């Protein structure tokens, strides 16, 4: 009777690899099972967080409505005769965010709102300019032309670089001319630091120029952000509610300007309220007391006998 042959080294190697692969397969199956459980739990957590974010967004809009209601709403049509007379002596510049994120309701409502407001201002002798921004080349448009308005609603489909438009406007400012600039945007901003630097220099050099922002939020978007509001102190309420600020709101809130001037303001509204918000912002500016501007250096008088 012949003795069984001993496994060769080659057979032993195959058996070893078989057992090793089997063990590794079991480990990977266990790992896959754990990851599936984690993914299932993560999806549940994400759904709950989205629900909480949606609740916070609704709370934010309720707070915003109360804040703006407490401040009161001004209207261009209700200005005093004295303040309304300023319109014909004032330059108005509207900077409209033409980036891709504005497509749809935001830019449609912004363009329609500005078309109506620009017509009212121009009818009273005001200089009115509208510029789409977001690209390196600001795009001026005739907002009162119906066909151009419809084309402008397509936007620029670009990012949100604002400094090029700001620098263009600043370069055309005059020290003795009252200019009110209104930015209409959804709050996205790529170059906030550059815009802030440019604006701070402009506020010093041109004390009769103002800049304010009407920020358009989506009530159905849980990412809707909190504004600096008319009073930056209100931002505290939204931070407490767990709602963060947009890059635009942060830029406006941190701007530093001459202490004698009222700082830039930001109003956050849904897109459908763009017209009321823009009109109210302009009415507020027109009803302010104009800044005194000295175009000649002050010469101190010498005391008698000196």
Mean pLDDT of 27-48: 91
Which of 32-36, 223-227, 235-239 is predicted with the least confidence, judged by mean pLDDT?
Answer: 223-227
Is this structure's pTM higher than 0.85? no
pLDDT-based confidence at 242, cuts 50/70/90? very low
Q: What is the pLDDT of residue 11?
A: 81
Mean pLDDT of 11-15: 85
Tokens encoding 120: 């009212």
Q: Is residue 252 within 8 Å of 228, Cβ to Cβ?
A: yes
Residue 106, pLDDT > 50, answer yes
Q: What is the pLDDT of residue 172?
A: 97
Q: What is the pLDDT of residue 297?
A: 46
Residue 201, pLDDT > 60, answer yes
Choose between 240 and 21: higher pLDDT: 21
Tell me the average pLDDT of the chain.
83
Q: What is the pLDDT of residue 62?
A: 62
Q: What is the pLDDT of residue 290?
A: 60
pLDDT digits (tens, 9 = 90+) for 75-98: 888 999 999 999 999 999 999 999
């Amino acid at each position: 009777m012949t003795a069984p042959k001993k496994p060769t080294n080659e057979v032993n190697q195959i058996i070893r690899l078989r057992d090793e692969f089997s063990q590794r397969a079991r480990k990977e199956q266990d790992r896959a099972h754990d990851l599936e459980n984690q993914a299932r739990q993560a999806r549940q957590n994400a759904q709950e967080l989205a629900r909480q974010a949606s609740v916070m967004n609704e709370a934010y809009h309720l707070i915003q409505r109360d804040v703006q209601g407490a401040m009161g709403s001004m209207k261009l049509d209700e200005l005093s005769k004295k303040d309304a007379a300023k319109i014909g002596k004032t330059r108005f510049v509207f900077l409209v965010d033409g980036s891709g994120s504005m497509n749809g309701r935001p830019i449609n409502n912004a363009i329609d709102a500005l078309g109506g407001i620009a017509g009212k201002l121009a009818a009273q002798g005001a200089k009115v300019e509208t510029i789409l921004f977001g690209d390196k080349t600001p795009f001026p448009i005739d907002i009162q032309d119906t066909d151009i308005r419809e084309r402008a609603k397509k936007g620029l489909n670009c990012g949100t670089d604002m400094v090029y438009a700001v620098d263009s406007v600043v370069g055309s400012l005059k020290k003795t001319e009252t200019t009110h600039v209104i930015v209409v945007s959804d709050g996205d901003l790529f170059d906030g630091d550059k815009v802030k630097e440019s604006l701070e220099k402009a506020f010093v050099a041109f004390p009769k120029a103002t800049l304010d922002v009407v920020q358009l939020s989506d009530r159905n978007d849980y990412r809707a952000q909190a504004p600096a509001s008319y009073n930056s102190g209100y931002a505290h309420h939204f931070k407490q509610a767990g709602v963060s600020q947009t890059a635009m709101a942060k830029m406006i809130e941190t701007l530093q300007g001459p202490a004698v001037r009222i700082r830039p303001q930001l109003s956050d509204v849904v897109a459908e309220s763009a017209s009321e918000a823009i009109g109210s912002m302009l009415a507020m500016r027109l009803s302010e007391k104009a800044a005194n501007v000295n175009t000649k250096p002050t010469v101190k008088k010498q005391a008698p006998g000196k």
